[in-house]
Structures are given as C-alpha cells and as structure tokens.
Amino acid sequence: MFHRKEKVKVMKLFAANSTSNVDALKVRNSEKYFYRYMADTLKGYGITKVVPFTSVYADLFYLEKGKIGLFKFMDTNEEAFSILGEEIAEIMEEERDKLFEMIKEQGILCEIPCFYIMPYVDLEAFGMEDKRSYIIDREPFERLINQEDAFSNYLSDTLDTETMEHIRLTLAKDYHIFKKSTDNRNARGTMKKIFFPYKELSYQALFMDANEIRYINSIKYGKTLLEGSSGTGKTTILFSRAIKLAKLFPNDHFLYLTFDKQLVYELNNMMEMKKIRLDNLKVINFHQYIAQLGKPYGLRIDGGKGYRSFAAEFHKIFRKVTQIYKEKPMFRGIFLDESENFSDEEIDFLSECVYPKKSFFVVSQDKAKDIKNTEQSIWKGTDRVYFDEVISLKVNYRSSVQINTFVNDFTEKVRSYAEEQLDTDLYDYIRKGYTRRKTLGEIHLIESLNTAEMLKKMGEKIRELEKKGYIYSDICIVYPYNSRKTKNKGQIFYQYMIKNALEEMEIPFLIANDEMINMTHKIGVTLSNVYNIGNLEFKAVLFCETESLSSDFAEESMDKSIFLRGINVLYTIFNRSVDEMYIFTREEETDNCWKSLMKEAFYMRRQ
C-alpha cells in the first residue's frame, strides 16, 4: 500500500515492540506502518502508550528539538467508517477536548497538537475533509511518509526547556524513576534527567530504558510472574502496570499488596510526588488488608504479645476471612509485590479475588530476599501457581560494577556449596543480575582483632567517605540482627553497641524503622538490622557483625532451612548498596561458612 525508499533509522522509540491484549495498549497495524516508514526520517524521541490521565491515553508522544505532538492510531477501515463515521469522529473529538482540558489543569497553557492517524480511510470520500484538523487520513498520510519535512506540520511551536520538561513529566510521568537530587546515577534511557522541587527539597526524575517501558506496556490478561534478582526493576514495572491499568479501567478496582509497611510508604510517597490520585487503586500491606476485611465481622488481631503470638493470631483471622470471602472476586487486578514472603495458602486466596475473566494477577518474586518466612516454607508461593506468562529480568539498575560482580561471585559460591554439601540446586533460588551502570564502585573486606577495633575502623571509614564527598544520609551501617546469644549464654546487643561508638565519635545517626523510605530526609548515618532495610538503598553500606549468623549455622548440622535463611539475610544486605560496600569481620571468631564464602567471592575478584 505504502512505498518509500529505505534509509538509516534514527528515531529513538520507547518502546514500539511491546505486546499486549489490552485494547488500549495494543500495537496496531497502522502504528506499525507509521514506524516502518517514518523511523528513518524522524530524529526525535517517541514515547509509546502513554496514559497521563484517567481514561485518556495516546499511542505516541513525540518530542524533537523543543517540539512535541500526541498521536493515536486507528485501524478503522472504510467499511466500518461508512457506517459509524460521524459517531467515531465525534468520540475522537470529545477525547481530544478532554485531553486538552486535563493538560490545562496541570498548568500547561501552551497548545499541544493531538492527531488521530487513520491511513485506511479517505475522509474526502465521506465529505468530511474538515475533520483533517485532527485526523490524518489516507491522503495526508501518503504525503507524510513521502516528504521528510511534512511531519513538522503536526507538531507544536518550539517550546523552551522548562516547558518541555514540565510536559514530559506530566504526560509520561509513569516512565520516570524519582530519586534524590544527590543521586549520581544516569538516566536509564537516553533522555536527560529532570530536576524538580518537592516540599522544599530538590529531586530528579530519571527516564526509564526501552526494556522497562516494553515490560510495563506488555500487559496481558491472566496470571503473570516477574522474577529477577534485586535491583532489576521488579517493583518499578509492577507498580507502573498497576497505575496504568487503574487509569485505563476507572470503573474497576485494583489492589497492590506488599508484605511490609516500608514499601507501602515508599509507593504512596511516589504517587504523591507524581501527583497521581487513583481512588480505584488500593496500595496496602497484606496484614493490614486482611485486618480490614475482617473488621466488619468483628475479627481483630491482638498484636501486643510479640511476633510469634501475632503470627498465630493473624493466621486464625486469615482462615476465617478466606471462608467469608470465598468465591467473591472483588478486583479487576491484583499486584502482589514481594511474593516470596507469602505462603501458598495466602497466594491461593488472593488469586481467587480477581474476576474469572479478563483480569490481572501479577506478582513479583525474588526468593533470595525472603528474610521473614523461610522457616515455614522454603519452596513455596509461585512455584505451585500456573502462570500464563513468566518474565525474567536480568539487568541490575542499582549496583555499581564492583558490587554487582561481588554479589554474582558470592551467588556462584553459594550455589556450589549448596550442591556439594547439601545436595541442593539453588539455580532458581538465588539469581544473578548484570549491571548497566558505568560507575566502577568499591567493595572491601576489613578484618579486626576484636569488636573495639572493628568499631574504630568503622568510624574511620565514615570519615573517609565524608572526605570523598559523601554525606551522612548516603551511609548506612547494617547488621543482621539486633542481638545474639554468646557461648556463655550472655547476649550482645549490636544496635546499642554501635550507637555508643558513634556517639563517642560524634557521628550523628538515626535508627531505621518501617516508615523510613529512600526519599526520607536523613540527618545522620542510618543504623539498621536486615528487617528494616529490605527496601532501602544507600550509596555506601558498612556491613558488620557477620558473626551473628554463625549461631544460626553449624557446618556439622547442614540444616537446609537455616542455610537458606543465612543466604537471604546476606543477599538482602549486599544488595542495599549503590556504589560502595565495606564488610567488617572479626579475626577472634572462628571462620564459619558465611565468612568463608564471602572471602572466596571477594578474593575471586582479585585474581
């Protein structure tokens, strides 16, 4: 139908190769034609499948040298148009007016062109040439693909940089990662980062890469699993999918569940920063959600008797709730983050809470990050759920080269040890990631004769990091547990011990809790055990008291469950660092399994 001489492609598309059976996200034939004939002419950036507002979306958001345009592709043929032409044109015009109104509400007063591309219809044949003010039909499309400068007629006037950035963050906010202004990571895609103020502080928005956008838009009905190592963008993709679908299906309800409160605070803060308000999307901690379901029936959880008592009480309430809500689907979609922490029974219940047809049950999983539930069940959750699609993520967007290499080497050592000593294959349990970051980074293993010397060296390292340009909020001291029992049946309290040492060195600090998020304005070095750091990241991590794991694991016992718990703790801590990591150990302790594996991985890099 259309003919054009092939040339070198120069347009950068994010991402035209997505696949979805959701109507608003499908790549249509007219869209494929456009990219085929225009990719060699256009020199800007094409951002696909943007959904800036509820019930309002566009297939292409195009930016080039201060000019922009929005485009929606239609595969309508002349037969269908001959029957519904007036109605179709009226609906398109209403959609366009609604988009313009919503854009103005965001403080954007300049005119943003919006066109429908319908290459299979000739408007002149229906006496509707006047509709070409917002429809590109067959004749204009022919001119478009054969005249290199024709597309500029459908773009805006040249806008200044500030206006362009405002528009980009408004129309494509779901394709940006928000970070502190001091974060030195580059944008994941090739578009420049945008700095913006929020609550009297400065932040930056990093544009995602084409792979992330493809995974966000490749939404399919049914059950989907996102799996990958820490830092591969599982939560980013999962949450972006939830937001996009909540906008596209405003009359249906969606549920986004996490296992701990910290991630809930993080995600709700992100929505506030992006100025996203969706009444049909609930973001909530799993335990709190079950408590809400049970409250109308007088079911309450007594959490004042300690963790074990809470777990038992919660399970009783959960079992009763499952009976009450059995076979009562309530959601168009459920998004389950941190699924490695959920039991089989819990996942079964949640998967039955979505509609039986044209619904979404999407979960993310990183088994090696399960630091809470391993003793109850090792191979659990998603292993026994049939998935229509499994997406494996391998690109690590967080770690520097040195840290990523160390974690991968440690993973290899752990796999080999488990196979040789425990006759266990951990290939699918602990996965490798491959960083795209250019920062080399640092990792060091620092040994001390005793605890006092270790604490002194930690203080000296913090002072060194200050001289390198790091601020206190960039640094975290992390230890596996708050305390451990000694051989003499005494008890060592790590948090108390480290707090005293920092106070003596006059280094300010704060204690991590489940309300701390990455955007929290921190006034000192963060102190945390593994349970309060699972969703945080820091430029520099100082990891101490690896010896506290030795009481969990005795080589002669070869206990598989305890071994996996140790892997999960170390893996979670190692992956909290963005640029640099320092592992502090004591020589006075006899080497245990974990120290040996860490040393082997560390010296493996040196060879």
Q: Which of 326, 347, 327, 348 is nearest to 336 (CA)?
A: 347
457-468 as b/e, with b when 16 or more CB fall inside 10 Å?
Answer: bbbebbeebeee
What is the pLDDT at residue 486?
Answer: 59
Residue 150 vs residues 117, 142, 274: alpha-carbon distances, Å: 14, 10, 35
The amino acid that residue 110 corresponds to is: C
Residue in the structure block whose two tokens are 């499908």? 26
Mean pLDDT of 244-256: 97
Q: Which of 75-84, 377-386, 528-537 has the lowest mean pLDDT?
A: 377-386
Question: What's the mean pLDDT when you consider all of the chain?
Answer: 88
What is the pLDDT at residue 379?
Answer: 40
Tell me: pLDDT of 380 over 70: no
What is the pLDDT at residue 183?
Answer: 85
Q: Which of 519, 540, 199, 525 is nearest to 402 (CA)?
A: 540
Percent over 70 (pLDDT), the chain? 90
pTM to 2 decimals? 0.92
Q: Which of 529, 402, 508 is nearest to 459 (CA)?
A: 508
Tokens of 33: 């034609």
What pairing do the DSSP bridges indicate for beta strands 538-543 and 475-479?
A: parallel
- Quickly state the pLDDT bin for 392 (edges 50, 70, 90): very high
C-alpha torsion angle, residues 298, 304, 305, 311 (rounded to 10): 60
What is the pLDDT at residue 556?
Answer: 47
Tell me: pLDDT of 554 over 70: no
H or E segment at 88? helix 78-105
What is the pLDDT at residue 94?
Answer: 92
Q: Which of 302, 262, 347 is nearest to 528 (CA)?
A: 262
What is the pLDDT at residue 1?
Answer: 52
Its sign, for the CA torsion 466, 470, 471, 474, is negative
The C-alpha R_g of the chain, in whole angstroms, comes to 27
Its sign, for the CA torsion 287, 572, 376, 236, is positive
Tell me: pLDDT of 260 over 50: yes
What is the pLDDT at residue 307?
Answer: 57
Contact between residue 535 and residue 266 where contact means Cβ atoms under 8 Å apart: yes
Mean pLDDT of 542-549: 82
Dump pLDDT digits (tens) for 418-467: 999 888 888 888 999 999 888 999 999 999 888 889 999 999 999 999 99
Tokens of 163: 């206006």
Tell me: pLDDT of 52 over 60: yes
What is the pLDDT at residue 375?
Answer: 46
End-to-end CA distance of the chain: 60
Mean pLDDT of 268-282: 94
